[in-house]
Amino acid sequence: MTDLAEIAEFLRSERVTRTALSDGSGVVLDVKGLAVYSLNETGMFLVNALCEGAADADALVARLVVEFEVDEATARADVATFTEQLAKVMKP
Amino acid sequence: MPAANESAGETRFSVREIALFLHALRLSVKAQRVQRRSLEDVAGALVRTRPLPRGVGADAAARAAGRACSRVKRWAGGLDTCLTRSLVAGALLADRPGVVLHVGFRGQATGPLHEGHAWVTLDGRNVTDARDGEHAGPFTEALRVPLRRGGESRP
């Protein structure tokens, strides 16, 4: 299973561009892997948090709770879904 | 370049336009590789294609790219998208500096969350969307690839 550190490394690599749109959503473009990941506001927030150095799921959950004023259980479920989906589509 | 003459439903093209179309056709076949290889690699291969004409007008390049990509789709089931058209038009223009391929995105009210688009600028002027207003709305740029013959195409 791909862990968060691998996902963060992928997102920070030169092969990837991150584009934030005005509504808070965004697009991650994998130039070499020929893939486009369309992210809602929460997904883009998590991508940016990972790229800024959030090191583990707990750090992401904490940021989500503060930013979106959701309870910890909801935030943890969102982080788990996000990690699982991104790990599934990431290409080496 | 003279425009195509249209009379009584018949469209006639000049020798120069036909030659340009054939160059564009060759490029549009190569541009199909974008389904399997990175944009950077395909753009590099297209600008290295020899021989290609010099001094092609921006509008003529965009027209030829559109015609060629639509034929490749019709005849061979290939891709005819803003990206393939932009790759072809950009390669036709890349004998001069200031040619850039852009990829951008914007949100959509309905359907998929985001819409992507590719276009080519020459000295900052959009040359591939110049003839239709379909993509006049703002796209947030995600990637730019300078296209230059004799140089490398890198984002």
By a Cβ cutoff of 8 Å, what residues of chain A touch chain B?
17, 19-23, 25, 27, 29, 31-32, 34, 36, 38-40
pLDDT of residue B110: 81
Give pLDDT tens digits for A79-88: 999 988 888 7
pLDDT of residue A1: 44
At residue A24, the 3 state secondary structure works out as coil
pLDDT of residue B134: 58
Cα separation, A81 vs A63, whole angstroms: 16
pTM of the complete model: 0.84
Residue ranges of chain A with per-residue pLDDT less than 70? 1-2, 91-92
Best of A18, A32, A38, A40 to disrupt the B interface by mutation (most B CBs within 10 Å)? Answer: A38
Residue B24, C-beta contacts closer than 8 angstroms, at least 6 positions apart: B61, B64, B65, B67, B68, B69, B88, B92
Contact yes or no for B113 and A25 at CB 8 A? yes
Chain B residues within an 8 Å CB radius of A29 = 103, 142-143
DSSP B30-46: HHGGGGTS-HHHHHHHH
pLDDT of chain B, 155 residues: tens digit per residue: 444 555 555 678 888 899 999 999 999 999 999 999 999 999 999 999 999 999 999 999 999 999 999 999 999 999 999 999 999 999 999 999 999 999 999 988 887 889 999 999 999 999 999 765 556 568 999 999 999 997 555 55
Alpha helices by DSSP H, listed for chain B, are 15-31, 39-47, 58-76, 82-93
Residue B132 backbone class (left: φ over 0; alpha: ψ -120 to 50; beta: rest): beta
Instruction: Please report the ipTM that was assigned to this predicted complex.
Output: 0.79
Cα separation, A9 vs B53, whole angstroms: 43
pLDDT of residue B137: 65
Query: pLDDT averaged over chain A?
Result: 89
